[in-house]
Chain A
Amino acid sequence: MINLEESFQPGRKGFFTDTSICIGCKACEVACKEWNRNPADSTWQLSDSSYDNTTHLGADTWRHVAFVEQGRERIEQARQSGRQLVNLGMPGVRTEAATNVDVTPPDTPDFRWLMASDVCKHCTHAGCLDVCPTGALFRSEFGTVVVQADVCNGCGTCVAGCPFGVIERRKDGLVEPKTNRDFTAGEQAPTPHVGVAQKCTLCYDRLVDGLEPACAKTCPTTSIKFGEHADLTEQARERVRQLHAQGLTEARLYGANPNSGVGGTGSVFLLLDEPEVYGLPPDPRVPTADLPHMFDRASLAAVGMIAGVVLAFFTGRRRR
């Protein structure tokens, strides 16, 4: 049932978010909201999570920067677990370059502060897209997954379909002041697209005109890179090689494995610790992944049942 080829077409676009050079400035969050005119989504209180007051992706927040403070012990663990990934032969991390250099790890620092900008993964096998009953979600010519607010009826099926918890229905009236504007100073306009599913479109409306997404364009340190998915994945692997060569074995990729439960993602991340540390599921799996299998089993069951009925028909004891 699942068209595995559809998102591997040439021209698939994506992000490579290199968290090792992220400065946590949140320009991506603001540029995203500004471009997409998403409302503020805040209780206007500290969220008790370091400098992260956004906390999660959602209908109004399509980029989210996580902040993680770690001490020496955790850093050593991360370095160790990264090294094991290498030993397990994770794709693309073992290289000739890495074998030629001094791989003695640098001094473990006492402390580090990880920052990472999260975004919709634009999965190869997108749960939200698979389960959408209305055709509001579609796979674009860029291989990205986009919601059409004018088609969506707000049924919310997609919300349960996303293994990353990215897509949400937009609520209204929770938070004042609202941010949406008719581009007029001192005035407020109603929030758009209330009640329908919302998530990152990878700036579909910019891509159609040859522009890059707002977050990638504004990123001061190029932590967020936009481009051809295939190129970016290669670039990401090269960067991991480079970091490993410097002894930073904690570096690893997330989303670059085409054999994962979502078939790899259009948004690839370089992380410096386990995904859970950043609030990412370690082994995401699209709920429809088992659909063909389930269909087979269901068919088998149906056939069996029919056979049983037939058998019963013929073998059942006659009345009287």
Chain B
Amino acid sequence: MANADCIVIQGSNMAECHPVGFQWVSEAKARGARIIHVDPRFTRTSAVADKHISIRVGSDIVLLGALINHVLSNEKWFREYVLAFTNASALVNEDFRDTEDLDGLFSGYDPATGRYDNASWSYRLKSGDDESTANEPQQGPGMGDQFGAAGPVAVDGTRGDGLCRDEIETDETLQHPFTVFQILKRHFARYTPDLVQQMCGISEADFDYLARSITENSGRDRTTCFAYAVGWTQHTMGAQFIRTAAILQLLLGNMGRPGGGIMALRGHASIQGSTDIPTLFNLLPGYLPMPMVTAGTLTDYLDGIASPAQKGYWANAEAYVVNLLKAWWGDAATADNDWAYDYLPRLTGPHGTYQTVAAMLDGTVDGYFVLGQNPAVGSAHGRLQRLGMAKLKWLVVRDLALIESATWWKDGPEIQSGELRTEDIETEVFFMPAATHVEKAGTFTQTQRMVQWRHQALQPPGDAQSELDFFYELGLRIREKLAGSDDPRDRPLLDLTWNYPLDEHGNPDSAAVLQEINGRFRTGDKAGQPLSSYAEMRTDGSTEGGCWIYTGIYAGGVNQAARRPARTGHDPVNPDWAWVWPADRRLLYNRASADAEGRPWSERKRYVWWDSEQGRWTGDDVPDFPATLAPDARPGPEATGPAALSGLDAFIMQADGKGWLYAPRGLVDGPLPAHYEAQESPVRNTVYDQQRSPARVTLARPDNLSAPSDDDPGANVYPYMFTTYRLTEHHTAGGMSRWLPYLSELQPEMFCEISPELAAEVGIEPYGWATLISPRAAIEAKCLVTDRMRPLVVNGRTVHQIGLPYHWGVGGEQAVVSGDSANDLLGVVMDPNVLIQESKVGSCAIVAGRRPRGRARLELVAEYRRRAGVTVDTGMRPIDVERGEHAMRQDRLEAERVNADDPWVVPDDEQGGER
């Protein structure tokens, strides 16, 4: 970032949420870079930016789409870069129809299920086949690219056939109407500065400033960087927000180059690591998908991930899978039993955290482990979370303090309102004190994929123990109790490799776990030695490794993540500090920092280039490219895997080696971003007739209601938009900040931020109390009446936005400060690609004064719902039948959705249960 010439921070409040990372922005600014902050609020980031542009929450695709249109129609795109490294010239299947043709929908939409069949989105192949004839992909909600905010690697976990570059029909002149380039041009033509003014509330002058800033700071000699955080991801269109920015950055030639890119600013110490080595339902380590029920055999499963015939590193997926299975089941995993593939459980649909909460409410989940999280405060729709936990048989909370998720049964808001009585709650609660980061050794993976080892400073106090110790011990106990069982379902547990060397306190050695993650040779003269690269992984069981993308972290038997050479100067790349996956590459796709011939785009922006004398790539970083693959290499169609990469395939993890301006697969809600309004919005979508994302995932339940949108009856009961966010002084749901006096005193009370205009409209005094009411809850907050919040004029009418930090909660023992939780206001509706909830936009009412106590609080919420006429159906239809003129009109949807049985909530239905 320090190398950027222009930095656009959008969907992120970087100075507040990543202050130390912001030093690089400060440094770039001191060097003359232009900093622009696009945000609904004027924040501490805006205060030190060159310019703050106020935007209506959830309208980012309109703004970014208009920038794409500006770049395309004014010929500001970086032609050589786009031709060399993107899929601009690829031809798309002739059956493809854009939102332009279908009035806001892409081809393949099934209104009955609310899902897309993406067959028509594929590339056009020379053989005449469409790639869509390949295997049944693992598709559906949450089955898209599971990268979410992780962003950097578009590893495609769906299927791999038919994307060999040589098989794709292309038109290098970009004139064919079905080239990606022309489709892009048509698609974004309606995204104009005028539309931006209408939908985002951004003036043409501000748009012009932004457009000039990024185009003047892109090209051979200059680069622009985008930075985002959950301001982009927590929307029903979250993945598409990021896609829009990626398209823009590819057109401007800002990917894979120093000072360019799209920085995902993540909010937890190892949130990147927890997707790499995932505690996520749909993934196995290294972005291998969890098998679906349809993948009956290992072969089926592998066919669904990648074809050995495809190009790039995913062609070796079989090796990654076999090594994982071998690491987990050791000798029990053999060639004869498909490396114990049958030991893996199968998915039948989405099992994300919100689906799980729904299952809890239905009484089909007994036990719940809550590990360093505080869902009672930190997850959307806090009431749903707490009521769900009240239906459990047992709950294990592991944390540093008695957070609200551990004490809701005696002091939560539902106890206070009388909805729940402690004496009626069956749930057993185990509170297990956790170890802090200094009381255990291990690695965190930070936001740029850097894995850093922490040494243990001391033993945890009292009963406190690390997750590693706890789960190791739990595993031992479970295996002890099952020992001797002949039930086949217990084999995976009993055969599990669970022998780790112990330290003098009897706890497992985390370095040994890291070594297993790295992988080792099992046989041969190197038996027992660590693998140094995932290229060493074999499919014959002679090697094992728990997470292929982390292989190399223990290369040479040395913990590479613990490398900490003393700092000299401040080299921006720092090749020797810790370790970065994959293969210690600091900047992904850095092949693109050189032109087609392998020369740096300019002297000022040189980074990695081709040294023709030595016949290898060289430069300031490990090349993210085969080291000796010449820029002019063009392997024939018979080559496979990494050997099939051409000298131009800079985006080596993509099956076609190209940066995707158009996504022929991998996304479930469209190959191109299209703007839809949030689930709840007082604004009508004037971009298309379709109001909300047609592929969004809803959870229609009587306890998860939505407010009406636009001019629908009752929408004026919840007339204001609210958005949630963090403050510098606190951390997420407060478990690591509200128990600390030094942090609590800096922001002691829950507040909301409103404009003076809104304050006048509803009669609220500065720093007075206000009550906010959504269809889910009513909360109270002190009011910061400030010019930092500005009403916007959208579609000719004034839209007020309310800001709500979400750090406070009610209940919890010994918290220094507490207060109502902003997340209680939210409902649950999700992005279909990654199942992240929409917590950045909601509709609410606001009135002066404190909220009622006890039962009266529930009655207030109910009264507003009645006035608005909110029902289970409100806002739940996938498409807007009364508006669209498109052929998809399906009135029968109405009837189908009268009860709460939303088709998305199917995953657990098959087996019955207590329902």
Name A residues whose Cβ lies closer than 8 Å to a Cβ of B.
21-27, 29-30, 33-34, 39-46, 48, 50-51, 53-54, 69, 71, 111-115, 177-179, 184-186, 220-222
Bound CA–CA A50/B783 (angstroms): 10
Whether the Cβ atoms of B749 and A40 lie closer than 8 Å is no
Provide the residues of chain A in CB contact with B44, threshold 8 Å. Answer: 23-25, 51, 113, 115
Bound CA–CA A111/B784 (angstroms): 16
With both beta carbons as reference points, the residue of chain B lying nearest to A27 in the complex is identified as B19
Whether the Cβ atoms of A69 and B786 lie closer than 8 Å is yes
With both beta carbons as reference points, the residue of chain A lying nearest to B46 in the complex is identified as A113
Provide the residues of chain B in CB contact with A42, threshold 8 Å. Answer: 741, 744-745, 748
With both beta carbons as reference points, the residue of chain A lying nearest to B729 in the complex is identified as A26
With both beta carbons as reference points, the residue of chain B lying nearest to A40 in the complex is identified as B741
Whether the Cβ atoms of B745 and A53 lie closer than 8 Å is yes
From A24, A43, A48, A177, B47 is in contact (CB under 8 Å) with A24
Q: Does B430 contact A (CB under 8 A)?
A: no
Provide the residues of chain B in CB contact with A220, threshold 8 Å. Answer: 19-20, 22-23
From B30, B741, B746, B751, A179 is in contact (CB under 8 Å) with B741
Contact A44/B749 with A24-B47, A111-B42, A113-B44 known, Cβ cut-off 8 Å: yes
Whether the Cβ atoms of B22 and A111 lie closer than 8 Å is no
Provide the residues of chain B in CB contact with A21, threshold 8 Å. Answer: 26, 30, 48
Could you pull out 18 A-B pairs where Cβ atoms are within 8 angstroms? A22-B48, A23-B44, A23-B47, A25-B16, A26-B729, A30-B743, A40-B745, A44-B749, A44-B816, A44-B817, A46-B782, A69-B787, A112-B47, A113-B788, A186-B461, A221-B19, A221-B22, A221-B23
Q: Does B747 contact A (CB under 8 A)?
A: yes
Whether the Cβ atoms of A50 and B786 lie closer than 8 Å is yes
Whether the Cβ atoms of B745 and A221 lie closer than 8 Å is no
Whether the Cβ atoms of A34 and B742 lie closer than 8 Å is yes
Whether the Cβ atoms of B42 and A23 lie closer than 8 Å is no
Name B residues whose Cβ lies closer than 8 Å to a Cβ of A.
15-16, 19-20, 22-23, 26, 30, 42, 44-48, 461-462, 464, 727-729, 741-749, 751, 766-767, 782, 784, 786-788, 816-817
| Most chain A CB within a 10 A radius of its CB, from B19, B22, B26, B786 | B19
Whether the Cβ atoms of A45 and B786 lie closer than 8 Å is no
Contact A30/B816 with A50-B784, A113-B42, A220-B20 known, Cβ cut-off 8 Å: no
Provide the residues of chain B in CB contact with A178, threshold 8 Å. Answer: 741
State how many angstroms separate the Cβ of B449 from the closest Cβ of chain A: 22
Whether the Cβ atoms of B15 and A26 lie closer than 8 Å is no
Whether the Cβ atoms of B745 and A54 lie closer than 8 Å is yes
Bound CA–CA A39/B742 (angstroms): 8
Bound CA–CA A50/B789 (angstroms): 13
Contact A29/B746 with A50-B784, A185-B461 known, Cβ cut-off 8 Å: yes
Bound CA–CA A233/B900 (angstroms): 69
State how many angstroms separate the Cβ of A297 from the closest Cβ of chain B: 47
Contact A44/B786 with A23-B19, A23-B44, A25-B16 known, Cβ cut-off 8 Å: no
Bound CA–CA A39/B766 (angstroms): 29
From B22, B464, B728, B751, A26 is in contact (CB under 8 Å) with B728
State how many angstroms separate the Cβ of B32 from the closest Cβ of chain A: 10
With both beta carbons as reference points, the residue of chain A lying nearest to B400 in the complex is identified as A185
Whether the Cβ atoms of B746 and A30 lie closer than 8 Å is yes
| Interface of chain B: mostly helix, strand, loop or mixed | loop
Bound CA–CA A221/B19 (angstroms): 8
With both beta carbons as reference points, the residue of chain B lying nearest to A41 in the complex is identified as B745
| Most chain A CB within a 10 A radius of its CB, from B42, B44, B766, B788 | B44
State how many angstroms separate the Cβ of B177 from the closest Cβ of chain A: 44
Whether the Cβ atoms of B748 and A46 lie closer than 8 Å is yes
Bound CA–CA A53/B15 (angstroms): 19
Whether the Cβ atoms of A54 and B19 lie closer than 8 Å is no
Bound CA–CA A111/B755 (angstroms): 13
Kindly list the 10 A-B residue pairs having the minimum CB-CB distance in the complex, ordered from nearest: A42-B745, A40-B741, A113-B47, A23-B15, A48-B767, A25-B19, A220-B19, A179-B741, A44-B748, A221-B26
Provide the residues of chain B in CB contact with A222, threshold 8 Å. Answer: 23, 26
Provide the residues of chain A in CB contact with B45, threshold 8 Å. Answer: 23
Bound CA–CA A111/B789 (angstroms): 11
State how many angstroms separate the Cβ of B638 from the closest Cβ of chain A: 54
State how many angstroms separate the Cβ of A118 from the closest Cβ of chain B: 15
Whether the Cβ atoms of A177 and B741 lie closer than 8 Å is yes
Provide the residues of chain B in CB contact with A177, threshold 8 Å. Answer: 741, 816
With both beta carbons as reference points, the residue of chain B lying nearest to A113 in the complex is identified as B47
Provide the residues of chain B in CB contact with A115, threshold 8 Å. Answer: 44, 47
With both beta carbons as reference points, the residue of chain A lying nearest to B748 in the complex is identified as A44
From B464, B745, B751, A44 is in contact (CB under 8 Å) with B745
Provide the residues of chain B in CB contact with A22, threshold 8 Å. Answer: 48
With both beta carbons as reference points, the residue of chain B lying nearest to A114 in the complex is identified as B47
Whether the Cβ atoms of A23 and B22 lie closer than 8 Å is yes
Provide the residues of chain A in CB contact with B788, threshold 8 Å. Answer: 69, 111, 113
Provide the residues of chain B in CB contact with A69, threshold 8 Å. Answer: 786-788
Bound CA–CA A42/B727 (angstroms): 18
With both beta carbons as reference points, the residue of chain B lying nearest to A187 in the complex is identified as B461
With both beta carbons as reference points, the residue of chain A lying nearest to B784 in the complex is identified as A50
State how many angstroms separate the Cβ of B790 from the closest Cβ of chain A: 8
Provide the residues of chain B in CB contact with A185, threshold 8 Å. Answer: 461-462, 464
Bound CA–CA A302/B729 (angstroms): 59
Bound CA–CA A27/B20 (angstroms): 10
State how many angstroms separate the Cβ of B181 from the closest Cβ of chain A: 37
Bound CA–CA A282/B748 (angstroms): 31
Whether the Cβ atoms of A46 and B751 lie closer than 8 Å is yes
Whether the Cβ atoms of A179 and B742 lie closer than 8 Å is yes
Provide the residues of chain B in CB contact with A25, threshold 8 Å. Answer: 15-16, 19, 44, 728
From A39, A45, A53, A184, B746 is in contact (CB under 8 Å) with A53
Whether the Cβ atoms of B23 and A26 lie closer than 8 Å is no
**Given pairs A26-B729, A42-B744, A44-B817, 8 additional interface contacts (CB within 8 A):** A40-B816, A51-B44, A51-B747, A69-B787, A69-B788, A113-B46, A185-B461, A185-B462
With both beta carbons as reference points, the residue of chain B lying nearest to A242 in the complex is identified as B30
Provide the residues of chain A in CB contact with B751, threshold 8 Å. Answer: 46
From A43, A54, A71, A186, B787 is in contact (CB under 8 Å) with A71
Whether the Cβ atoms of B745 and A111 lie closer than 8 Å is no
With both beta carbons as reference points, the residue of chain B lying nearest to A107 in the complex is identified as B51
With both beta carbons as reference points, the residue of chain A lying nearest to B728 in the complex is identified as A25
With both beta carbons as reference points, the residue of chain A lying nearest to B43 in the complex is identified as A113
Bound CA–CA A44/B742 (angstroms): 11
Whether the Cβ atoms of A23 and B745 lie closer than 8 Å is no
| Most chain B CB within a 10 A radius of its CB, from A23, A43, A53 | A23
With both beta carbons as reference points, the residue of chain B lying nearest to A71 in the complex is identified as B787
Provide the residues of chain B in CB contact with A112, threshold 8 Å. Answer: 47
State how many angstroms separate the Cβ of A91 from the closest Cβ of chain B: 24
State how many angstroms separate the Cβ of B131 from the closest Cβ of chain A: 48
Provide the residues of chain A in CB contact with B766, threshold 8 Å. Answer: 48
With both beta carbons as reference points, the residue of chain B lying nearest to A60 in the complex is identified as B745
Whether the Cβ atoms of B787 and A23 lie closer than 8 Å is no
Whether the Cβ atoms of A33 and B767 lie closer than 8 Å is no
With both beta carbons as reference points, the residue of chain B lying nearest to A31 in the complex is identified as B742
Provide the residues of chain B in CB contact with A111, threshold 8 Å. Answer: 42, 787-788
State how many angstroms separate the Cβ of B146 from the closest Cβ of chain A: 32
Provide the residues of chain A in CB contact with B767, threshold 8 Å. Answer: 46, 48
Bound CA–CA A185/B433 (angstroms): 12
Whether the Cβ atoms of B48 and A46 lie closer than 8 Å is no
State how many angstroms separate the Cβ of A162 from the closest Cβ of chain B: 23
Bound CA–CA A53/B751 (angstroms): 13
Provide the residues of chain A in CB contact with B748, threshold 8 Å. Answer: 42-46, 53
State how many angstroms separate the Cβ of B767 from the closest Cβ of chain A: 4
Bound CA–CA A33/B740 (angstroms): 12
Provide the residues of chain B in CB contact with A179, threshold 8 Å. Answer: 741-742
With both beta carbons as reference points, the residue of chain A lying nearest to B30 in the complex is identified as A21
Bound CA–CA A113/B39 (angstroms): 15
Bound CA–CA A177/B748 (angstroms): 13
Provide the residues of chain A in CB contact with B747, threshold 8 Å. Answer: 51, 53
Bound CA–CA A179/B746 (angstroms): 14
State how many angstroms separate the Cβ of A247 from the closest Cβ of chain B: 13
| Most chain A CB within a 10 A radius of its CB, from B747, B786, B787 | B787
State how many angstroms separate the Cβ of B570 from the closest Cβ of chain A: 12
Whether the Cβ atoms of B742 and A30 lie closer than 8 Å is yes
